[in-house]
């Protein structure tokens, strides 16, 4: 039995423990656990989250000699021409939710989309990507203490008016871009990915 559980453990190259928690909540439904591993993550400059994640996953799989997943996500605000997009983590670290709200002051079109790309790569094989999106809008104030990143200013369209940060984790997982991408990965891995891990 012990080897069975080890077989379904996938290395997740990230420095963000919140993302690992989220991934494990979703992937536990597929009998998969992810283990956080630090490995220098090379992020190419690109408008495409999928391209960024696939490139990073290929390099990490080569360096670690094991199958890995890499996740990249971003908040794309329509009125800001898609900003911060692939630069979301940098923008969050520098100006935060308050800074984005300031950029949005006086703007009535508050539509935004959260996108996520999860890339899986086994050494020597091309990376595969799984994508998720959550459409919604930017709130007028910072709301809620759950989640992380831009969650306190994002109201998903398919929700009930709460920001991601105002929701319990299971509600956010059901509606979020990351939940969708990890579910897509989990479904694929449960069907065919496991074989690559033997």
Residue in the block written with tokens 């220098």: 40
Q: What is the DSSP letter of 8?
A: T
- Dist. CA 187–CA 182, nearest whole Å: 9
Identify whether 72 is a catalytic site residue: yes
Q: Which long-range contacts (CB under 8 A, 24 or more apart) does 100-104 make?
A: 100/75, 100/138, 100/150, 100/153, 101/138, 101/139, 101/140, 101/141, 101/142, 101/153, 104/77, 104/79, 104/80, 104/138
Q: Which of 72, 109, 160, 173 is catalytic?
A: 72
- Residue by residue, DSSP assigns 120-138 as EE-TTS--EEEEEEEEEEE
- Residue by residue, DSSP assigns 33-88 as EEEEE--PPP----S-HHHHHHHHHHHHHHHHTS-EEEEEEEEEEGGGTT-EETTH
Active site members: 72
């Amino acid at each position: 039995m012990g080897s069975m559980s080890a077989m379904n453990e996938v290395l997740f190259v990230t420095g963000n423990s919140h993302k690992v928690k989220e991934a494990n909540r979703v992937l536990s439904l597929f009998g998969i656990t992810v283990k956080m591993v630090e490995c220098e993550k090379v992020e190419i400059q690109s408008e495409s989250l999928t391209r960024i994640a696939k490139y990073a996953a290929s390099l990490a799989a080569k360096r670690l000699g094991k199958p890995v997943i890499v996740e990249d996500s971003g908040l794309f605000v329509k009125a800001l021409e898609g900003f911060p997009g692939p630069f979301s983590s940098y923008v969050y670290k520098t100006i935060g939710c308050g800074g984005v709200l300031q950029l949005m002051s006086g703007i009535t079109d508050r539509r935004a989309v959260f996108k996520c790309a999860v890339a899986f790569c086994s050494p020597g094989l091309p990376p595969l990507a799984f994508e998720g999106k959550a459409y919604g809008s930017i709130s007028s104030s910072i709301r809620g203490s759950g989640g992380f990143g831009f969650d306190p200013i994002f109201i998903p369209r398919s929700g009930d008016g709460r920001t991601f940060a105002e929701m319990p984790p299971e509600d956010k997982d059901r509606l979020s871009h990351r939940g969708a991408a990890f579910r897509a990965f989990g479904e694929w891995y449960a069907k065919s990915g496991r074989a690559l891990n033997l």
